[in-house]
């Protein structure tokens, strides 16, 4: 084992690992696993030229920058599909600004080739045991089973990444806290990035958390039980008080694997108080409403990127009478009417 110099960057993908645990590293041929922690060095700048640390600060990186990295899988149609390699390599790809590494399988042709990381070794404790983020969950609910009634869950999902989900979730947090309600917020699926949950915190939600608090650098390709475990642990931790609201964001689109797993789960659907659906344009919103019927769900409101355009809203009005709220310039009275209205049944007749 070798000692790690203290001038490394600790990125948000390693959120559950305290800095004082990171002291030694060793190189070995053990096949990487999701959550394995690595000490490495930037050796070629590509698409990503910065790293987000565990406090949310953005560090500019250069050839030779040393940092901690975490193996994980990434699903990002606008960027990369990246996977944990089957064998250890001396050079890997930086697949997310949060410090997650893997091997790029596919990439959006509008993106540059990935930044390269030279692997110096696995981070290990004084006994030589390799550190893995999943062994250090920061959330340990006091309750083991859910007591009813629970906090009202506002679920935000959408057509794809960058469809405006985080902005809509923040708008819900702002509206509810502005009228005096206590709000907790969570992002259940996605790739490590503090930006989205910090945005909800800035809008009044506190406490807030995502899957990295449970030690997962991402949720892509996790077993179904793990995906549901993340949801249930966050629910047990933050949604026990029926007087509060719990705003929950699901990453990517509703046909993406992990999002679909959650929407198909009866224990998740039964928790929905209000469902907000986001889209980039009117056509996507209309198509998404129809896809949601396959899950037996109907949104209570539409939002996202399309909500900023009066023309998109006009197009939507010709196909649906669902309310549309502008998440960029939210109207507190409109959101109050949407979010505080009595819970409606989410069950609709599924398409055959």
* Complete domains list, the chain, with CATH: 2-133 (no CATH), 152-339 (3.40.50.300)
Would you place residue 312 in the very low, low, confident or very high pLDDT band (cuts 50, 70, 90)? very high
Q: 76 Cβ partners below 8 Å, 6+ apart?
A: 96, 108, 161, 191
In which band, very low, low, confident or very high, does the pLDDT at 229 lie, cut at 50, 70 and 90? Answer: very high
Measured in whole angstroms, how far is the alpha carbon of residue 251 from the centre of its chain? 5
The two structure tokens encoding residue 44: 């070629």
Is the Cβ–Cβ distance between 203 and 171 less than 8 Å?
yes
Packing angle between helix 224-238 and helix 257-264, nearest 10 degrees?
60
Q: Report pLDDT digits (tens) over 45-65.
A: 999 999 999 999 999 999 999
- Who contacts 333 (Cβ-Cβ below 8 Å, separation ≥6)? none
Higher pLDDT, 293 or 142: 293
Encode burial over 50-59: b for 16+ CB neighbours within 10 A, e otherwise.
Answer: ebbbbeeeee
3-state secondary structure of 152: strand
Taking the model in full, what pTM does it have?
0.96
The predicted model gives 36-41 an average pLDDT of: 98
What percent of the chain is modeled with pLDDT above 70? 98
Model confidence at 149: pLDDT above 70: yes
Tokens of 114: 């990935």
Question: At residue 144, does pLDDT exceed 90?
Answer: no
pLDDT at 143: 81
d(CA 55, CA 285): 34
Distances from the Cα of 82 to the Cα of 14, 70, 214, angstroms: 17, 13, 21
Cα angle: 239, vertex 240, 242; to 5 degrees: 90
Residue entry with tokens 């000490």: 39
124: left (phi over 0), alpha (psi -120 to 50) or beta: beta
- Taking Cα atoms as reference points, which of 270, 329, 265, 325 lies closest to residue 300? 325
Split at pLDDT 50, 70, 90, the class of 269 is: very high
CB 214 within 8 A of CB 139: yes
Rounded Cα distance between 117 and 108, Å, is 20
Residues in Cβ contact with 166 at an 8 Å cutoff, skipping those fewer than 6 apart: 195, 196, 199, 200, 249
The whole-angstrom separation of Cα 88 and Cα 82 is 15
The answer to whether residues 288 and 159 touch, using CB atoms and an 8 Å cutoff, is yes
* CA 98 – CA 82 distance, rounded (Å): 14
The predicted pLDDT at position 344 comes to 73
C-alpha–C-alpha distance, residues 23 and 45, integer Å = 26
Name the average pLDDT for the chain: 96
Residue 217 pLDDT? 98
Residue 351's pLDDT is: 45
Q: Which residue in the block uniquely carries the two structure tokens 């990246």?
A: 82
In the block, residue with structure tokens 């203290």: 6
Structure tokens given for 337: 């009417």
| pLDDT on residue 350 | 52
- Report the pLDDT value the prediction gives residue 346, as an integer from 0 to 100: 52
Distance CA 344, CA 263 (A): 17
Report the distance separating Cα 188 and Cα 267, nearest Å.
14
pLDDT at 352: 41
Give the dihedral of Cα atoms 107, 169, 215, 112; nearest 10 deg: 20
């Amino acid at each position: 084992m070798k000692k790690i110099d203290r001038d490394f960057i600790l990125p948000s993908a390693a959120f559950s690992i305290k800095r004082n645990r990171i002291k030694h590293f060793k190189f070995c041929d053990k096949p990487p696993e999701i959550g394995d922690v690595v000490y490495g060095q930037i050796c070629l700048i590509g698409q990503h030229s910065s790293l987000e640390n565990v406090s949310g600060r953005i560090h500019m990186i250069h050839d030779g920058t040393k940092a901690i990295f975490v193996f994980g899988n990434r699903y990002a149609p606008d960027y990369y599909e990246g996977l944990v390699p089957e064998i250890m390599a001396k050079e890997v790809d930086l697949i997310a600004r949060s410090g997650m590494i893997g091997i790029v399988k596919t990439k959006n042709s509008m993106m540059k080739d990935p930044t390269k990381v030279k692997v110096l070794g696995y981070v290990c404790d004084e006994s030589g045991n390799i550190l893995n983020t999943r062994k250090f969950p920061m959330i340990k609910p006091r309750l083991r089973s859910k007591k009813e009634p629970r906090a009202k869950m506002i679920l935000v999902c959408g057509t794809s990444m960058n469809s405006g989900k985080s902005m809509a979730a923040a708008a819900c947090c702002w509206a509810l806290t502005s009228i005096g309600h206590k709000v907790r917020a969570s992002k259940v699926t996605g790739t490590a990035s503090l930006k989205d949950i910090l945005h909800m915190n800035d809008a009044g939600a506190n406490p807030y958390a995502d899957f990295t608090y449970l030690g997962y650098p991402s949720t892509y390709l996790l077993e179904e039980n793990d995906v549901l475990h993340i949801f249930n642990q966050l629910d047990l931790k933050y949604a026990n008080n029926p007087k509060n609201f719990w705003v929950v964001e699901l990453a990517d689109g509703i046909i993406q694997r992990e999002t679909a797993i959650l929407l198909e789960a009866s224990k998740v659907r039964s928790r929905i108080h209000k469902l907000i659906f986001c889209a980039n344009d009117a056509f996507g919103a209309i198509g998404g409403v129809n896809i949601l019927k396959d899950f037996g769900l109907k949104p209570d409101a539409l939002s996202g990127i399309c909500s900023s355009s009066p023309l998109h809203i006009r197009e939507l009005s010709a196909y649906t009478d669902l309310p549309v709220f502008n998440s960029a310039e939210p109207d507190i009275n409109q959101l109050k009417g949407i979010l505080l209205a009595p819970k409606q049944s989410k069950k609709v007749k599924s398409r055959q």
